Chains A and B, each alone.
Chain A
Amino acid sequence: MAVLEAYLKGWEALMKHLRMWGLLYVVNLLLAFTAVLPFSGLLGETVAQSLGLERSLDGFDFGLLGDFMNNYGQPFSVVLDQAKGGVLLFFLASLFLMGGVLQSLVHSTRIFAYYDFWKGCGQYFWRLVRLTLYFFIFQSILFLCCFFLFQMIAGSLSPFELESEVPVIRAFWIVVPIWLSISTLLLLIQDCAKIRMVHKNEFWLVFVIRDSIRFVLSNFIRTYFLYLLYALTFLLLSFLYMKANRLFQANSTGTIIGMFLLGQLFILMRVGFKIAILGGLNFLYKTQKR
């Protein structure tokens, strides 16, 4: 019941911070546009007046894609580089904005205040950078360990040493669930660490991480299942989005606008999930600490 209550509280927290939600989404959209606009310009200059483009509206056309990449690949690679830059910039922006999100959720007031939000962004930025770096290292170590485990179970990765590809597949199905489970646990601990860091305004992240691990392990069922509940919700909504996406072809102004809106709704949902998860964990943290 505590899990369900925390789950619902997370969504409630999201609804209470609609402006924050909107802000995060707008940042995502604006930074993506920095690459999409030049891409749109490139398409306009190269293929907008080709009947081939018109024919491709009715479905996936590999021929068109291939010709575009082979003949206009160089300018497209410039756009791709810009996109990579946009992704990196978004990552840094997210780090910055996460402080504000935590400040708003943890020290929540009835009215969302921009002042508190920006204050939180500045206050926790460097700590979040360090925390992200530490958990990136932990995730990398986990990945390497799982890779070695994979090699051990498969016996070898060279096809010439294996009787068949079955050991490789078997190893995959054993190791990947293990990796996903532990990786999720690490993400959970990281989220709890963020909440604790803001609650205690703790500078030394070693203690924050230590205490978060203790918290998660002592409330393992609640915290892990809360996370899983959000994950399942996300998977369900993603599935519905994919199904809706395939219902019609984007071959007219109306359907293209429809696809755009549907896509943006999905992105909005993804942005909102992060806030909801933190809100739910925050509620659980507060109630379990009493």
Chain B
Amino acid sequence: MRIFCLITILGWCFCAKAQTDSILSPRTANYDIKVELDIAQKKIYGQEKIVWKNPSQDTVKELQFHLYHNAFRNTESTFYKERGFASFLGGKQDECHWAWQEVQKIVDNEGNDLTKGIEYIHPDDDNEEDKTVIRVPLLKPVLPGGSTTVDLEWIGKIPKIMPRTGYNKEYYFMVQWFPKLGVYEPKGMRYAEEGGWNCHQYHSIGEYYADFGVYNVEISVPKNYVVGASGELQQDTIQGNKKIYSYQANDVIDFAWTASPHFVEQRRQWNHVDIRLLTYPVHEHFGVRYLDAMEYSLEYMSKHVGAYPYTTLTIVDTPFHGIFSTGMEYPTLITVGSVCFLPKGVKTTETLAVHEFVHQYFMQMVATHEVEEPWMDEGMTTYYEGRIMDHYYGEQTATVDVLGFKCGNVVFNRWEFFGSENKDIADGSYKSYEFKEGGYKETSYNKTAIALRTLQGLIGENVMDTLMSTYFDRWKFKHPSGRDFIEVANEVVQKHHGDKFGENLDWFFDQVLYGSDLCDYEIESVHSRRLTKAAGYVDNLEDCAPVGRFDGDKYESKVTVRRNEPLHFPVDILVVFEDGTTVQEQWDGKARSKTFRYIGQDKVIAATVDPEQKIHIDKNFLNNSFTVNRNENGVRKYANQFLLWLQNSMQTLSVLI
């Protein structure tokens, strides 16, 4: 019995370790980093060993790195020029808020000093003052399939209250904090017509893109600081007045960490995942809300998309003075935020947590290019955010449920998009920094989610789940493009629906993703007229027949459906007759209008186009239906509410008299 238990325990340990040790990605860029946090000088001192594997058939003669924090160096950076300000402190841009990142030394694995060859480049614009990208020529080029190792020493001045990163008071949130390699895209990968580095400058709008690898990071902080980071904690040791945390994160594209002496920890275990929540004491009571949201998200995504392979998930509830870092996603670490008086009926806390968690799938594991195709991660994440929130928190209450005011997530998302001014200003082909006139959030987040819901409506939820899980399974730990996603969609839909939607779905994606037009189907009219017998010389030229009625009622009814906007989709039309019978019609939705004609004893009394609201991208559901009998009660109800509101406003203002 004892031997049996021992074998079982050993086997469990082996499986757990195997799960940790199994190689999930190509591990192209691997980092061993040692970093020391100097809270007095607000600097970090880093040493970094990078092992980079050439994934191409090219001989690579240089490396390109991101130095993201140089975006906060001065007012001449591309980031600052595009945004108009760098710090959230606005006009208070004095010396201490700026930041920089400087590579002091870079040496290859043969000891050759490559430092003098470092050159700042600006692949996106002609801004020579922007220092967010460097190229480092190699003395020994990397052959196809080969690898190179470089050692870097660098110093970083930590920014104060800059977008997504920096410090404020004793809170540090460190992202894009180390010199990070770009992605070498071989010919044929994504849109690369020839092999080359994909290493964009840091723009005001847009996020990141990097290769998968293993990160071994040692973080040295003052010993009273609590640290949260990507990956698994291997050990922590105290050396004098410092504490060194050693983390390992496998098969990830980035590494983020945070430190503060005020963090309070809460934990929960979900299957193999150790969920760790870090909050400040004043937000401890949000623990249950966050942890429940994470459990729901893990459960839902594992069931509908694919398994979450990592053993850790860290949630950082940023303090009030750290809101510049709220609402972001990094491998196995997300940042969320709240305010302590937020009522339970306002679910912004959960919404943000769920959204950032889903990013673990769409762009952490399926590592799309956040700058070149932001819709691929933001849109898919927003789509699943809606599904998870509405599933667990109610379709009518997932966003707000306070004092009778209710709103679900999907409904809110739709309202947000169609209520925006910039909904048709751009399309999914835009890179993030090309949204110069606005529209980034509307197009990348909201419109993509609505488009995916429309696709779900057309092909059905089961096929949609198959599509997304196939896409995830095929492209996890890789870098797909939009075209790759569409290819999967075409393949899966063809398999399940044949030619029902045509040869492929390119017509769909060209409209909703790569177009900026809108959609609006409407029941324009429902008319009925009593039919009479034919009058005049009908049977012969002698007998003149008068107008006469048929025995019993006979009516001709016409239902006209109209397409008001350019986008077109196949739609259903539900027609209701006087006697309660219904007829379901189908229309390809391409022409500007279509009229359906019925002859019978009963008139048509109502019609609805898209009765199941499958076409989520239809901007107006109100005109999708038409009933012959006016709904006077509806008008009276809302007129009454408006009247009451107005009367109360008048009385309230008259208090001043």
Complex Cα distance, B620 from A91, in Å, reads 37
| Residue B541 CB within 8 A of the other chain | no
**Cβ A86 vs Cβ B646 within 8 A:** yes
- With A36-B642, A164-B280, A274-B654 given, is the CB distance from A44 to B635 under 8 Å? yes
- With A90-B650, A90-B654, A94-B654 given, is the CB distance from A164 to B620 under 8 Å? no
How far apart are A279's CB and chain B's nearest CB, in angstroms? Answer: 16
| Most chain A beta carbons < 10 A, residue from B632, B653, B654 | B654
Could you give, for residues 328-353 of chain B, a 1 whenever the CB lies within 8 Å of some chain A CB and a 0 otherwise?
00000000000111000000000000
Could you show 10 A-B contacts with beta carbons less than 8 Å apart?
A: A28-B651, A46-B622, A51-B627, A53-B631, A66-B419, A94-B654, A128-B657, A160-B324, A169-B340, A251-B633
Other-chain residue from B88, B340, B624, B651 in contact with A270 (beta carbon distance below 8 A): B651
9-residue interface stretch from A2-10, A68-76, A103-111, A199-207: A68-76
18 additional contacts (CB under 8 A) given A36-B643, A162-B321? A36-B642, A40-B636, A48-B630, A49-B626, A50-B624, A53-B622, A62-B407, A62-B411, A67-B620, A68-B622, A90-B650, A94-B654, A160-B161, A163-B169, A169-B340, A250-B640, A251-B637, A256-B637
How far apart are B584's CB and chain A's nearest CB, in angstroms? Answer: 16
| Most chain A beta carbons < 10 A, residue from B407, B621, B651 | B651
- With A40-B635, A52-B621, A70-B619 given, is the CB distance from A91 to B642 under 8 Å? no
How far apart are B526's CB and chain A's nearest CB, in angstroms? Answer: 9
| Residue A143 CB within 8 A of the other chain | no
**Cβ A164 vs Cβ B319 within 8 A:** yes
- With A51-B606, A132-B657, A162-B321 given, is the CB distance from A32 to B647 under 8 Å? yes
How far apart are A273's CB and chain B's nearest CB, in angstroms? Answer: 9
| Residue B587 CB within 8 A of the other chain | no
B319 to chain A: which residues have CB within 8 Å? 163-164
**Cβ B639 vs Cβ A40 within 8 A:** yes
| Residue A135 CB within 8 A of the other chain | yes
**Cβ A165 vs Cβ B657 within 8 A:** no
How far apart are B387's CB and chain A's nearest CB, in angstroms? Answer: 17
Complex Cα distance, B320 from A95, in Å, reads 46
| Residue A29 CB within 8 A of the other chain | yes
Other-chain residue from B89, B650, B654, B655 in contact with A32 (beta carbon distance below 8 A): B650
B620 to chain A: which residues have CB within 8 Å? 67, 70-71
A51 to chain B: which residues have CB within 8 Å? 606, 608, 625-627
A35 to chain B: which residues have CB within 8 Å? 642, 646
How far apart are A272's CB and chain B's nearest CB, in angstroms? Answer: 11
**Cβ A160 vs Cβ B635 within 8 A:** no
A274 to chain B: which residues have CB within 8 Å? 654
Other-chain residue from B168, B629, B637, B639 in contact with A36 (beta carbon distance below 8 A): B639
| A33 nearest in chain B by CB position | B643
| Residue B225 CB within 8 A of the other chain | no
| Most chain B beta carbons < 10 A, residue from A47, A67, A98 | A67
| Most chain B beta carbons < 10 A, residue from A59, A90, A169 | A90
| Residue B10 CB within 8 A of the other chain | no
Complex Cα distance, B647 from A252, in Å, reads 23
How far apart are B285's CB and chain A's nearest CB, in angstroms? Answer: 13
**Cβ B282 vs Cβ A165 within 8 A:** yes
How far apart are B260's CB and chain A's nearest CB, in angstroms? Answer: 12
| In the complex, chain A residues 198-246 whose Cβ is within 8 Å of any chain B Cβ | 246
Complex Cα distance, B168 from A161, in Å, reads 9
| Residue B42 CB within 8 A of the other chain | no
| In the complex, chain B residues 391-438 whose Cβ is within 8 Å of any chain A Cβ | 396, 404-408, 411-412, 414-415, 418-419
| Residue A253 CB within 8 A of the other chain | yes
Other-chain residue from B161, B625, B637, B650 in contact with A28 (beta carbon distance below 8 A): B650
| Residue B580 CB within 8 A of the other chain | no
Instruction: Give how many B residues have a beta carbon under 8 Å from the other chain's beta carbons.
Output: 65
Complex Cα distance, B622 from A214, in Å, reads 61
**Cβ A63 vs Cβ B414 within 8 A:** yes
How far apart are A234's CB and chain B's nearest CB, in angstroms? Answer: 11
Closest 10 CB pairs of A and B: A66-B415, A53-B634, A51-B625, A62-B407, A40-B639, A90-B650, A263-B644, A94-B654, A70-B418, A32-B646
- With A43-B638, A51-B608, A54-B634 given, is the CB distance from A246 to B404 under 8 Å? yes
| Residue A60 CB within 8 A of the other chain | yes
Complex Cα distance, B639 from A35, in Å, reads 10
| A60 nearest in chain B by CB position | B406
How far apart are A66's CB and chain B's nearest CB, in angstroms? Answer: 3
How far apart are A87's CB and chain B's nearest CB, in angstroms? Answer: 5
| Residue B656 CB within 8 A of the other chain | yes
**Cβ A57 vs Cβ B637 within 8 A:** yes
**Cβ B643 vs Cβ A32 within 8 A:** yes
**Cβ A270 vs Cβ B648 within 8 A:** yes
**Cβ B656 vs Cβ A163 within 8 A:** no
Complex Cα distance, B646 from A33, in Å, reads 9
| Residue B210 CB within 8 A of the other chain | no
Complex Cα distance, B639 from A43, in Å, reads 8
| Residue A159 CB within 8 A of the other chain | yes
| Residue B323 CB within 8 A of the other chain | yes
A187 to chain B: which residues have CB within 8 Å? 655
| Residue A136 CB within 8 A of the other chain | yes
| B406 nearest in chain A by CB position | A60
Other-chain residue from B407, B418, B627, B638 in contact with A49 (beta carbon distance below 8 A): B627
**Cβ A164 vs Cβ B418 within 8 A:** no
Other-chain residue from B419, B624, B657 in contact with A94 (beta carbon distance below 8 A): B657
A67 to chain B: which residues have CB within 8 Å? 415, 418, 619-622
| Residue A271 CB within 8 A of the other chain | yes
Could you give, for residues 13-43 of chain A, a 1 whenever the CB lies within 8 Å of some chain B CB and a 0 otherwise?
0000000000000001101110110011001
Complex Cα distance, B624 from A276, in Å, reads 51
**Cβ B650 vs Cβ A256 within 8 A:** no
A163 to chain B: which residues have CB within 8 Å? 169, 319-321
Other-chain residue from A33, A70, A94, A250 in contact with B637 (beta carbon distance below 8 A): A250
| Residue A123 CB within 8 A of the other chain | no
**Cβ A60 vs Cβ B405 within 8 A:** yes
A169 to chain B: which residues have CB within 8 Å? 340-341
| Residue A247 CB within 8 A of the other chain | no
B634 to chain A: which residues have CB within 8 Å? 43, 47-48, 53-54, 56-57
Complex Cα distance, B321 from A81, in Å, reads 40
